[in-house]
Every structure is written in structure tokens, then in C-alpha cells.
């Protein structure tokens, strides 16, 4: 079979190589950076298209090479797959595909930015605490949950998110604001389930 000619990528020692991964309508194909393997990939994709009637959307496709790949080989492979390079600005389903920062807390600052982008739209100091609670549970709590489905956030980063939510609850200001929030109750008690006297944040 043609698929036996694919080298794939091994995720670790003694692990079987991964040739492709599929999720919903997304496809990730892995292999060595050679024109022979790229041609094999192209043949496999074309055979699948012929049998299924589906066609790849090359405008939404991309390619990424290992740093050690020669530029001439890159050009040869891109002549087979004429798609743009995946870089630091590439976003897929709202998530950056490449995170260069060694410090994970810095790498995930885009989540913090999403929080801060939401804050100016809400004048929390003019909202009741019931309204603030609704916004926290329906908006702010859902933003990190989406990313936490496939990312293990560091404790330091989670503390930063908690700080923003806590200040929003008590004062309705941004985290970097100089005003100190007056906490009338321990945050862990507020976050406890409602049946235990908390608010379930």
C-alpha cells in the first residue's frame, strides 16, 4: 500500500509513528521532509478525494517544516503542496498553533488578553453582584475552560486569571488598576458550591 511508504512522526521512544490525525473536518498529515514522501502524501489525499468526493480547502491549509530542513527542499515540497507556512501568527479554532515562549505563563498571555478585551464592555461597578456573577459564570469562566481542554495551565497563570475575576467581582476594574478591592468574604468560600453556601464560581 502507498500508506506504508509514509515515515510519519514518532511522539516518543518506543511509540508507533503517527502518519495522520483527524478531528471533525480537520486533517493533520506528518512525515519526513522529502519530495518522495510529499508526493506519496499528495497521492493518498487525491485517492481519498476520488473515493469520497471531498476536496481539500487549500486556502485554509498550511505547512510547517523542522528548522533543519534545507530551503531548496522546502520549495520543492511547496511546489507539491502550494500552501502558506504556519507561523507564530497562525490561529486555529481561536488557539495559536505555535507557542515560542519558554515560560508557559508568558506563552498563554493571549488568554489574559481575551479577558482584558471583555472588561471595557462591562461597567461592573454599576452592575449588581447578581449581574456580575452571571457574567463571570457565562463569559469569563468559559474562556479558559475552552483552552484547558487541551492545555495544562501553570498555577501561576491560573492565579492571574483568578485575580482578574476576583477584582471584577468586587470592584469591576482591570487587574492593573491601582485601587484595592475590599474583599468582604474569603474567595474560596465564594467559589464553593451553592449548596455549601457559596456562589459556585
The whole-chain average pLDDT of the chain stands at: 80
pLDDT tens per residue, range 107-151: 778 888 887 777 666 666 677 888 888 888 888 877 888 778 777
| Other beta carbons within 10 Å of 48 | 13
Residue spans per domain, the chain: 2-86, 100-196
Q: How much of the chain, in percent, has pLDDT values that exceed 90?
A: 8
- Could you write out the DSSP letters of every residue in the chain? -GGGG---B-SSTTPPPB-EEEETTEEEE---S-HHHHHHHHHHHHHHHHHH-----GGG--B---TTS-HHHHHHHHHHS--PBP-TT-EETTEES----SSHHHHTHHHHHHHHHHGGG--GGGS-HHHHHHHIIIIITHHHHHHHTT----HHHHHHHHHHHHHHHHT---TT-SPPP--SS-HHHHHS-GGGTS---
| pLDDT exceeds 80 at position 44 | yes
How far, in Å, CA of 180 to CA of 190, rounded? 18
pLDDT band at 101 (very low <50, low <70, confident <90, very high): low
pLDDT tens per residue, range 77-90: 999 998 988 887 77
Determine the pLDDT at residue 77: 93
Long-range contacts for 189-195 (Cβ within 8 Å, ≥24 apart)?
none
Determine the pLDDT at residue 14: 85
Average pLDDT score over residue span 180-188: 73
pLDDT band at 74 (very low <50, low <70, confident <90, very high): very high
159: cell is 492565579
Determine the pLDDT at residue 1: 46
pTM of the model: 0.56
Higher pLDDT, 115 or 16: 16
Determine the pLDDT at residue 96: 73
Amino acid at each position: 500500500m502507498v500508506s506504508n511508504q509514509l515515515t510519519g512522526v514518532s511522539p516518543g521512544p518506543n511509540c508507533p509513528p503517527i502518519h495522520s490525525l483527524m478531528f471533525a473536518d480537520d486533517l493533520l498529515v506528518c512525515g519526513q521532509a522529502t519530495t518522495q514522501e510529499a508526493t506519496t502524501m499528495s497521492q493518498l489525499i487525491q485517492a481519498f478525494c476520488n473515493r469520497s468526493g471531498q476536496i481539500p480547502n487549500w486556502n485554509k491549509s498550511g505547512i510547517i517544516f523542522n528548522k533543519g530542513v534545507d530551503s531548496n527542499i522546502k520549495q520543492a515540497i511547496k511546489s507539491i503542496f502550494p500552501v502558506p507556512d504556519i507561523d507564530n501568527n497562525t490561529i486555529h479554532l481561536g488557539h495559536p498553533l505555535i507557542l515560542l515562549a519558554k515560560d508557559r505563563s508568558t506563552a498563554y498571555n493571549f488568554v489574559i488578553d481575551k479577558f482584558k478585551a471583555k472588561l471595557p464592555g462591562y461597567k461592573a461597578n454599576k452592575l449588581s453582584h447578581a449581574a456580575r456573577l452571571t457574567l463571570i459564570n457565562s463569559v469569563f469562566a468559559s474562556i479558559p475552560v475552552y483552552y484547558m481542554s487541551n492545555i495544562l495551565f501553570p498555577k501561576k497563570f491560573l492565579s492571574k486569571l483568578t485575580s482578574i475575576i476576583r477584582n471584577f467581582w468586587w470592584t469591576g476594574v482591570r487587574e492593573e488598576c491601582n485601587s484595592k478591592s475590599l474583599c468582604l468574604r474569603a474567595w474560596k468560600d465564594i467559589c464553593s458550591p451553592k449548596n455549601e453556601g457559596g456562589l459556585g464560581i
